[in-house]
Amino acid sequence: MASRPPPPTSPFQLTFGSPTWRFQIQQGNSQQLVLSQWLQGQRLPARQRESLTQPSGQGQPATNIETAVDISSSDSPILNQSPSNAHTLPSSPTTQPATNVSTNPFSAINLFLEQNPEMYGVLQTLLTYIPFLILILFKEIYKHTSDILVILALVVTFIHADRTVQREVAKQGKRELKPLGIITVNIVACTLLVHFLCGDSEFYHSLLVFPPNSAPLSLANLLWVVTTTDHILKLFTVFLKGLLVSFPLGFFPISHRGKYFAFVERSSHLYRALAAVPPWIHYLLTSQSSENSSLYYYDTLIGVCLCGIYLTCKAYRAVKLVTKWKLSVSKLFQSTCYGSLPTNEQLQDAGPMCPICHDSYRKPTFLSCKHIFCEDCLSMWLDRERTCPMCRSTVAEDPKWKDGSTSYLVQLF
């Protein structure tokens, strides 16, 4: 009969199969109790082990445990750890290292590149091509200098004219005719500049939604024609809105101007979307090969397929534009009335002046939220907002494009 093994001595030693775990515990006379507590703590999740190592707050000192693990078996996942690499449990939360999380995006990029050397190599390769790309860019800028200047002139003229119209619309009856005349002269001058510098048949055909000539278009010419046509049409839209603002108030009342501005803008969106179709159809359908070439019919077939895809995507957007245009047309024939005429008692309760213009009421309007405003003041407010100026309750529909503004979006497709 085999004799029982002797009890473990210090350092405390346990044997489980082939690996030998040696634990050195500095705790005085309660070595076995502390060891059992430590073994149970190793089976808990990491978050619970951290909570066990923290002091309880009742004056009890934290237990200091030093462990040294030696594994003699080669089958263990931890191979031959030396005592110098032994893990020491923290005695208090203050001894835990703080994690410094950097919010600098460049440090995050550097860390990503260090962890992914392949991406770093790709980035270095791309950086070597930057000088050549800059050379090509300068060459194209020099080649199309006049076209770029024309587009810049159109953009600057449009932005100035659009802001001028919005400012004069906000003045209500105090609008000035001089700024409106200045933007009219600018629009005419910019249009003549385009005509004398870059006017060609493709440009005029695109303005009138006609197909271009039989000559094939390059991608650069296509983008120039579409961009220039779109800006000319936007300038014409701003001109129409300025013309509406210049009319006397008796001809176009302030309370009715918002729906006319929205109608002009929706009509412009629809026409500009249609004006971009003929150049794109011509670009996609026209073959670069001659009719006697064997690739002519193959290029024509590919062009028909591309045109079908383009028209399908365009039809999806055109349906939305037509729906919004029809809604703006229906608004033209509806009366613009946001409330009812208040009684004398309601006027006395509201006070002697309008909360918007701080003047006596002119055609007072009583809203459903029981607030009273001048009809013109309320119309100007609801051309920009859909809520009551006092209580912010919804009293109108979407006021988009009712303030005389024009879309900055370029119809490239």
| Average model confidence (pLDDT) across the chain | 74
Max mean pLDDT among 156-170, 205-219, 328-342 falls in 156-170
CB atoms within 10 A of CB 361: 19
Stretch 283-293: mean pLDDT? 72
Q: 3-state SS string over 282-293?
A: HHHHCCCCCCCC
pLDDT score recorded for residue 92: 44
pLDDT score recorded for residue 62: 44
Q: Is 257 helix (H, G, I), strand (E, B) or coil?
A: helix
pLDDT score recorded for residue 366: 86
Pairwise pLDDT comparison (340 vs 37), residue with the higher score: 340
Residue 398 reports pLDDT greater than 60: yes
pLDDT score recorded for residue 34: 53
**283-290 contacts, C-beta under 8 A, 24 or more apart:** 283/216, 283/217, 283/219, 283/222, 284/310, 286/214, 286/216, 286/217, 287/216, 288/216
What tens digit of pLDDT does each residue of 119-137 get? 878 888 888 888 888 998 8
Stretch 31-53: mean pLDDT? 54
User: CB–CB of 157/187 below 8 Å?
Assistant: yes
Residue 167 carries which DSSP code?
H
- The percentage of residues in the chain with a pLDDT greater than 70, rounded to a whole number, is 68
Pairwise pLDDT comparison (164 vs 174), residue with the higher score: 164
Pairwise pLDDT comparison (208 vs 72), residue with the higher score: 208
- The percentage of residues in the chain with a pLDDT greater than 90, rounded to a whole number, is 13
pLDDT score recorded for residue 323: 92
Question: Helices H, strands E: what count in the chain?
Answer: 14, 4
Pairwise pLDDT comparison (329 vs 105), residue with the higher score: 329
pLDDT score recorded for residue 4: 53
Residue 21 reports pLDDT greater than 90: no
Stretch 167-173: mean pLDDT? 81
pLDDT score recorded for residue 146: 80
User: For residues 238 and 244, what is the distance between their CA atoms, to the nearest angstrom?
Assistant: 10
User: CB–CB of 241/165 below 8 Å?
Assistant: yes
User: For residues 239 and 70, what is the distance between their CA atoms, to the nearest angstrom?
Assistant: 88
Degrees (nearest 5) of the Cα angle 286, 290, 294? 105
pTM of this prediction?
A: 0.63
**What is the dihedral angle through the alpha carbons of 8, 11, 14, 19, rounded to the nearest 10 degrees?**
-140
User: CB–CB of 322/271 below 8 Å?
Assistant: no
What tens digit of pLDDT does each residue of 30-39 get? 455 555 565 5
What tens digit of pLDDT does each residue of 238-258 get? 999 999 888 887 777 777 788
The region of weakest confidence among 222-226, 227-231, 288-292 is 288-292
The region of weakest confidence among 1-15, 216-230, 256-270, 316-330 is 1-15
Stretch 207-212: mean pLDDT? 69
Residue 181 reports pLDDT greater than 70: yes
pLDDT score recorded for residue 184: 92
